[in-house]
Structure 1
């Protein structure tokens, strides 16, 4: 019984799976970089928003009454 075609099929499948795993690994790595960059941007935006809130809330000086009073 000749097992050569079976070995060729198994080697072909293995090569395909190795290629697929390499591609998936690359994609996961790229997505991790994107997530880290987005997380940094979100942290900066939240910090800016907090600073803006503090500056707006800091103007608690009494306002003069409107002219019609």
Structure 2
């Protein structure tokens, strides 16, 4: 009986630890999803404004 109680206590602790990990990962994933969304919106605004292009090879940047 004691062995079963110890096993249950151990498993309960592991479940609580895993739950904390999953909750933390969910929070981080939500933050990252929000940041990616903001970056995508910002890039869409740059594209629609015609700015933020890539400078290729020997092209001079616009400030020259």
**Superposition misfits of 4+ residues, deviation over 3 angstroms:** none
- What is the TM-score of this pair, normalised by structure 1? 0.72
CA RMSD of aligned residues (A): 1.0
Unaligned runs of at least 5 residues, structure 1:
1-6, 58-69
Q: Where do 1:24-43 residues align within 5 Å?
A: 24-43=18-37
Q: Which has the higher contact order (CA 8 A, sep 6+)?
A: 2
- What is the TM-score of this pair, normalised by structure 2? 0.77
Larger radius of gyration: 1
For 1:15, the equivalent position in structure 2 comes to 9
Unaligned runs of at least 5 residues, structure 2:
52-64
**Matches of 1:36 and 1:29, distance apart in 2:** 11
